[in-house]
Amino acid sequence: MAGQLTSPVAMRQANRRSVLDAIWGMPDLTAAELVDRAGLTRATIYSVCDELIEAGWIVELERRRPPGEARGRPSRRFAFAHAAASVVAIDAGSYRVQASIADLNGQIRGTAERQLYGDAQSASERQALVRGAVEDALVNADVGITSVVHAVLGIPAPVSHEGTVPGDDPFWTVMHADLTGVLGEWLRSPVVVENDANLAALAERSYNPAARSRDLVALLSGYRMGAGIIAGGELVRGRAGRAGELRWLQQVEGVGSTVGASYWLIDQCRRALADGEQASCLRGLAAEGLTLASIRAAAREGDPVAKTAMAGAARRLGRTIAAMASMLDPETVVICGSAAQLASDVLPLIGEEVSRLLDGADGPAVQASKLGDEIILTGAVALALQWVRQNAAEIALKR
pLDDT in tens, 304-327: 999 999 999 999 999 999 999 999
pLDDT score for 69 = 57
- Our CA angle for 379, 385, 389, nearest 5°, is 145
Q: How confident is the model at residue 65 (pLDDT cuts 50, 70, 90)?
A: low
Three-class secondary structure of residue 132 per DSSP: helix
d(CA 278, CA 259): 26
E strand or H helix at 100: strand 96-102
Share of the chain above pLDDT 90, in %: 80
The DSSP secondary-structure symbol of 288 reads T
In angstroms, the Cα distances linking 226 to 133, 176, 208, 243 are 25, 16, 19, 9
Q: How confident is the model at residue 2 (pLDDT cuts 50, 70, 90)?
A: very low
Q: Which residues contact 247 (CB under 8 A, 6 or more apart)?
A: 258
What are the tens digits of pLDDT across the range 193-246? 999 999 999 999 999 888 888 999 999 998 899 999 999 999 999 999 999 999
The DSSP secondary-structure symbol of 76 reads P
**Average pLDDT of the segment spanning 169-192:** 95
Q: How confident is the model at residue 66 (pLDDT cuts 50, 70, 90)?
A: low
What are the tens digits of pLDDT across the range 262-290? 999 999 999 999 887 788 989 878 666 78
- Our CA angle for 82, 88, 91, nearest 5°, is 140
Instruction: State yes or no: pLDDT of 132 exceeds 60.
Output: yes
pLDDT score for 71 = 61
In the chain, what are the domain boundaries? 2-80, 86-196+376-394, 209-370
Dihedral Cα 245, 248, 249, 253, nearest 10 deg:
180
pLDDT score for 1 = 43
Share of the chain above pLDDT 70, in %: 95
E strand or H helix at 194: strand 191-195
Of 246 and 6, the one with more pLDDT: 246
Dihedral Cα 129, 135, 140, 144, nearest 10 deg:
170
Is 362:330 a contact under the CB 8 Å cutoff? no
Q: What are phi and psi of 247, to 5 degrees?
A: -65, -20
Residue 144 CA to chain centroid, in angstroms? 24
- Topology at the third CATH level for domain 2-80: Arc Repressor Mutant, subunit A (1.10.10)
**Average pLDDT of the segment spanning 34-45:** 93
Asked if the domains at 86-196+376-394 and 209-370 fall in one CATH topology, the answer is yes
**Average pLDDT of the segment spanning 94-108:** 96
d(CA 349, CA 375): 24
Instruction: State yes or no: pLDDT of 4 exceeds 60.
Output: no
Q: How many CB atoms lie within 10 A of CB 222?
A: 23
Q: Which CATH architecture has domain 209-370?
A: 2-Layer Sandwich (3.30)
pLDDT score for 3 = 46
d(CA 268, CA 262): 10
**Average pLDDT of the segment spanning 316-344:** 96
- The CATH code of the domain at 86-196+376-394 is 3.30.420.40
